A and B are shown apart, each in its own frame.
Chain A
């Protein structure tokens, strides 16, 4: 058994005291990040990357820490959904639908425990799925040449823009902004400067970390200043927390189905955890029928989206690790981490650095148990952290962002760019333009151009070469469908409105 020997290798890496400690710290930080409204998984991971980088952790340790934060944030998002009716992060939106009504009926503790267990089931099954599927997919990607990679990048932009946004043209503009920014700097092939306008600071290009922290973290400050910190309503009180065994057992199948739906949604490039929790909730609602009372505080309505959300989070790691194509905003940030650490995701990662991959998978398995322990018995601790007011939290996030980016380069120019990206992110969010495609564009732009140029060198300038293999034709078709189909499906996939008091 290949997998067992690989897992043994993974656990030998993950069970060292230092790695274990990092996993626990990551889980703790992640749950806080997920729970605090205004600090979601993408900006939480984003502001931590520069700091882990300057701390000089090696690749495995940094990855273990950050993926533990990522998993933790997915667990934590539900806490403020249930108690405050404010999703701590975007995928937790669906959890507010039944979680907040449950809390208002005095069952906040039950909702937290059920959703915690559902999160565990989803994340655990997804990690197993990742373990089984990722090596298989890595084997297939050995056959990918430059034209297939180019088509794959197109697919990522198309599905991300198609599914995760309300307006195709705006998503495409966003992707173009990112790709356009990626072109700044020295041309990889010829070594000549492009779009630097004679500015020395732009010769190395725009650091993607600067863009990520600006777009995700700094823009949040502007959003809060605009809303004047209105969303600080303290919701329901949490009483004694007990384990509602009967509800958990009754929603067992719901959790399993939610995990499966979520995992599939997560593996699809561009879909991510929000779609996973949405589909899991909607399919359970359809199975249960109208009489089940979804939306009025049904425990299954809490279990389904949380299982789906966490399974999708694990599923999204599959394309990120095997293809280097992130499936969501947060995995885009994790890809940025890999690139900072000089790790190239893809089939070679599995062949050449098995200790990194399997150490990561083993750590994720361990992190799940740690998170279950933190999120069920210790949930009260995190509820207390929710009471940090925004006027302390957001300046704190800003200062951490500044220090992180400043310690990377020590240049005020990067800080100014970061502030600029923050303002851009705020304006784009007002205009309903998604910002994740910008990040994807900056991350993938150079690889995308390189694969196009390599393909053209191989074919001596024949553009039909891009569509010459069955794999690339399949990817192109999927890209077009992924971009166009949501236009027609949108009337049917309308998100239910969050309940208001």
Chain B
């Protein structure tokens, strides 16, 4: 109930913001009967309407995970974001081993298999991508190999 009401409210607010943003679209001298604004405004209107419907007629609540599981998900999110930033400057091998190991640990909390998973995935995928599929991956940070 409450989940859907919040979801509906968020959808409606985002949709209204979307419409407001659509009215600011710059038009150019090339114009057509519909223009650049109509379709986005239409989408926003449908979404806002459906958001209100969901708010008024919510489904039963899903079972949300407890705080510990939510924390694990948040941690995984941080790991993935850090991995996204690290991939270019740090090369493939080290960030992949760390990120894969941490994710494995989040799914099954045993340190040794998780570390082995990280190492194995990092090396194995590097070999497959680099040599079997010919993708241009960099193994280590640039400075290390001179």
Contacts and interface: CB of A to CB of B under 8 A. Distances in A.
Contacts of B69: 225-226, 228
Q: Is the interface of B mostly helix, strand, loop or mixed?
A: helix
B1 to A, nearest CB: 12
Interface string B57-100: 10100101100010011001100110111011000100010011
Interface string A426-457: 10001111000000000000001100110011
B117 A392 contact: yes
B146 to A, nearest CB: 23
Given A225-B106, A391-B117, A419-B77, A180 B44 contact: yes
A191 B118 CA distance: 46
B133 A173 contact: no
Given A192-B36, A228-B107, A399-B100, A173 B51 contact: yes
Interface residues of B, number: 70
Contacts of A419: 77, 80-81, 84
Given A395-B117, A398-B80, A457 B33 contact: yes
Given A392-B121, A402-B83, A402-B84, A180 B27 contact: no
A170 interface: yes
Given A229-B107, A431-B62, A192 B25 contact: yes
Contacts of A412: 84-85, 87-88
Interface of A is mostly: helix
A166 B11 CA distance: 18
- The bracket for how many chain A residues form the interface is 35 or more
Contacts of A172: 46-47, 50
Given A183-B39, A392-B117, A396-B100, A225 B30 contact: no
Given A189-B36, A402-B83, A407-B135, A176 B43 contact: yes
11 contacts: A55-B133, A189-B30, A192-B28, A228-B69, A391-B107, A392-B104, A395-B107, A402-B83, A407-B136, A419-B80, A453-B32
Interface of A: 51, 54-55, 166-167, 169-170, 172-173, 176-177, 179-180, 183, 187, 189-195, 218, 221-222, 224-226, 228-229, 389-392, 394-396, 398-400, 402-403, 406-407, 410, 412, 415-416, 418-419, 422-423, 426, 430-433, 448-449, 452-453, 456-457, 460-461
